[in-house]
Chain A
Amino acid sequence: MTTLNVLILVCILYVVFLFAVAFAADRAALRGRGSWLRSPYVYTLSLSIYCTAWTFYGAVGFAARSGLEFVTIYLGPTLIMIGWWWTLRKMVRVGRSQRITSIADLISSRYGKSNLLAVIVTVLAVIGTTPYIALQLQSVTLSFAAFAETDLTATTLPDMHSTALWVAGGLALFTILFGTRNLDANERHHGVVMAIALEAVVKLCALLAVGIFVVWGLSGGVAATLDRIDASAIAHFEVSGSRWIGLTMLSAVAFLCLPRMFQVMVVENEDEDHLRTAAWAFPTYLMLMSLFVVPIAAVGLELMPEGANPDLFVLTLPLMDGRDGLAILSFLGGFSSATSMVIVAAIALSTMVSNHVVMPLWLYFSGGAAMVSGDVRHVALLARRLSIAGVVLLGYVYFRLSGGGTALAAIGLIAFAGVAQFMPALMGGLFWRGATRTGALAGLIVGAVVWIYCLFLPSFGPSMVLPQVVFDEGLFGLHWLRPRALFGSEGMDPVVHAVLWSLLLNTAAFVLGSLLSFPQPVERLQGAQFVNVFDHSGTPGGWTGGMAQSEDLLIMAQRIMGATEAQALFAEAAQRQGLAGYLPEPSPTFLQELERELSGSVGAATAHAMISQIVGGAAVSVEDLMAVADETAQIMEYSSQLEAKSQELVRTARQLRQANEKLTQLSVQKDGFLSQISHELRTPMTSIRAFSEILRDTGDLTPEEQSKYASVIHDEAVRLTRLLDDLLDLSVLENGQVVLHVQTGSLADLLDRAERAAGVQGGTLRVMRDRMAEAVALTTDLDRLVQVFINLIANARKYCDGQPPILTIRTAVVDGELVIDFTDNGSGIAPAQQAVIFEKFSRIGQHKAGGAGLGLAICREIMARLGGAVSYLPGQKGAAFRVTLPLSARMAAQ
């Protein structure tokens, strides 16, 4: 037989181990090498605080009383968990983006940071959780007592109250030690979470071990166990539909609303991605936890003596069989379930109590001066520690008062129904923008009153709090107000009855209140932030800075966050604003950021109130909101305008660059042109001058010599004139001042004219033509076109070095354009020069033919005027020019 002392020793060793784990995890997190602390499995395991001692001991008791119905308590959370995409994802996102510290904080933030709402939620949560904590203490003391009964060496049974007191004290110490290390509730309690995860493993292993022992050890296999279940009192699946569905729904709602679940699920959430693992892992955990419950209950009912407490079968079955080791493991499992629940619940409640009750009160009584004179950080921490102690103490007091008589499961369900009252406000807040503070207040109050009246007070038993006459005759003798048969709904299960009516009336009040009231501006902002959290994870507007004194803000922040953190935050903000030192401009952005940081420590409502005290005039009017909205719209408009402008600028810059390049080229061309022209003018001028000087100064010239010199002068003068004519022609053409004389003629005639004018007859050049194709009538400036042809033919005559030189003129109509190719059989033009032949003064090789190099330039200009083009055609085994002319200028021949 295990002595109590061994049990106590094991217990103390286990607690020491938990302290060590929590301490090590905190240290590891502090040193930044605790990546395993952030595993999704740790998150999943931490969720298992849903399974309290109620699950560990109570589920078997529940099953022993009403069979498989116990499973509804786990089906609800399973459904919520596999439906994470609906709600949990949104809750976690909102919790992270708004730096939510508790469920009271979430509801208060959503409804315009209303502290009244937070207080109501907090009070309701404390009322709902206190019995639950008492339940945990009770289960630990009961399990101690179960051991003590079997311990023959113990002379006296241990005092139940003192056991509970020891447990409560130890838990409070642990929670204060690891739950209030840092003030910022948003910072993860790595130590606590790690200890809880460990306890989750212990309780699962313990329950599975007991289950395996019962199935294979006591019953002799699966088949035998099934037979025993079939033979037991719970062999038949007899559940009422209303309880089955009602309890599943209630447990689902409670899973979302329980402050401790909110704490581990949302506040301690490290990474939204962890939900993905928890989505399947947590249902699996719950399934394993409930797998052996019915077998244990059935076997316990069969083997244990009549009147044995079924809540303790998990413990008493191994004890009865003399399996002390297993019994101790089982005890540790129950102990783990109880302690982890109390720890997290105490943290969650203390955050709520200190942020929403103690801090506002303290701020109120110490007045605005406290902002700059008191040590808020110290006060907040103290408030939280006292709250933890207070919450645990309250649980103990409840345990003492209630005497530990009621069945465990009953208390659990009552607590569930209490916190379920948060549901309409919570879900409405997350999914309905029309939900208002008035509605939430109305719903919460109505729900809480109905719950207290129909379930909480009657749970103490008739004549304890509510006199028997109220049960029988209703409140004030109104028959329809009987707490167990509201509005005449008789014969319902009390829990289902209370849940149904409280949630119905709660939701009705919430919806009606929301529909009939008009939300405050802050509420509307927050509503949009919450409901559309996936669209914009931005912050609500509202602070119009400028009046705030950065220094005051820093002083206040230091008191709340601690000097180093606050200074770092301010310095960073200042740096972002491009300022040196610690004092940033109190811009709205900065104020919002600061408010969020502070809300992590003292809750959104308090943070809002504190900043508003310094900033002054924090109330946001609709006009402000409109202004903010307008401003945003304007900024967006402005930024798109800016974008358009900058694109335009880029375009302009590109155009300017191109223009500049062109100008540079033109300048080079102009220089080249000037030097060319002076050269071209100078050459004939020089000979004219020389020969005219000879004529003037030399007396004895023969008439032949005179005639010869005079004709040289004449020729040079003609050449000069031609050059000037060409230049003039080109300038006229380039300036677009040319007047076209449109006439109609045949292409063949034009080519004939050009051939004659180019002096082909009598020369060596042979011209090959296709007269059939040339039977095309043209309506254009024929003289100008002929000028082009003359130029091209003359060029061939002058430069073609073929033996004998042949010029082929081909005419064709391609794509509605008249195409005339002038191809000779000479050596053609080198590719490098092809690009420049149409430039002014470009001449190929030595100018043996004495041209000025303007011909092709003029041709190009003419063709451009006529709407066509002249271009060099490469790859023709000789120089080839292509003249194209749109046929629109052509009249139909014949």
Chain B
Amino acid sequence: MSAERGPMFLARRTYRLRRLSDAARMLPIAGAVLFSVPLLWETEGVRTTRAMFYIFGLWIVLAVIAGVISARLRPTDTEEDPKGSQER
């Protein structure tokens, strides 16, 4: 398994791409957590309008971040780690 590992350190560009794809992976998780935040608000007295502002604002922010990330990330910039999913 350790026979043919990739290089331990990467060129700056590749490094950036990997972090960018990390960000792309984290974004939906962060979104899921943030969208659940209204559930933590006190049950009584939270107005729908307030929740609307929060949810739609978050929605726009997520779309913008997704746009920024995917503008720099191409599906072909692939660096899937095959070793991790190897059938052994």
Contacts and interface: CB of A to CB of B under 8 A. Distances in A.
23 contacts: A68-B51, A82-B65, A85-B25, A86-B28, A236-B46, A237-B47, A237-B50, A244-B36, A244-B38, A245-B36, A272-B76, A273-B76, A275-B70, A276-B74, A276-B75, A280-B64, A283-B63, A287-B56, A287-B63, A431-B85, A433-B86, A434-B87, A528-B87
A327 interface: no
B48 A532 contact: no
A71 interface: yes
A14 interface: no
Interface in B41-88: 41, 43-52, 55-56, 59-60, 62-67, 69-71, 73-76, 78, 80, 82, 85-87
B11 to A, nearest CB: 19
The 3 closest A-B pairs by CB, nearest first: A83-B28, A280-B67, A85-B24
A284 to B, nearest CB: 5
Contacts of A394: none
B15 interface: no
A78 B62 contact: yes
Given A273-B74, A283-B63, A528-B87, A79 B32 contact: yes
Contacts of A248: 32, 35
Contacts of B21: 85
B44 to A, nearest CB: 8
Given A82-B27, A230-B47, 12 more contacts: A82-B28, A82-B63, A83-B28, A85-B21, A85-B73, A86-B25, A235-B47, A239-B39, A244-B39, A272-B76, A276-B71, A534-B80
A80 interface: yes
A273 B77 CA distance: 11
Interface residues of A, number: 54
B77 to A, nearest CB: 10
Interface string A322-335: 00000000000000
A791 B87 CA distance: 80
Interface string A510-548: 000000000000001001100110110000000000000
Contacts of B80: 532, 534-535
Contacts of A86: 25, 28
A241 interface: yes
Contacts of A239: 38-39
B31 to A, nearest CB: 5
A81 B82 CA distance: 24
A431 B25 CA distance: 15
Interface in A242-286: 244-245, 248, 272-273, 275-277, 279-281, 283-284, 286
A584 to B, nearest CB: 31
Contacts of B76: 272-273
Contacts of B71: 276
B56 A83 contact: no
A236 B24 contact: no
A67 interface: yes
Nearest to B87: A433
Contacts of A413: none
B75 A273 contact: yes
Given A236-B47, A535-B80, A241 B39 contact: yes
B40 to A, nearest CB: 9
A85 B80 CA distance: 11
A237 B36 contact: no
Contacts of A213: none
A287 B49 contact: no
Contacts of B41: 237
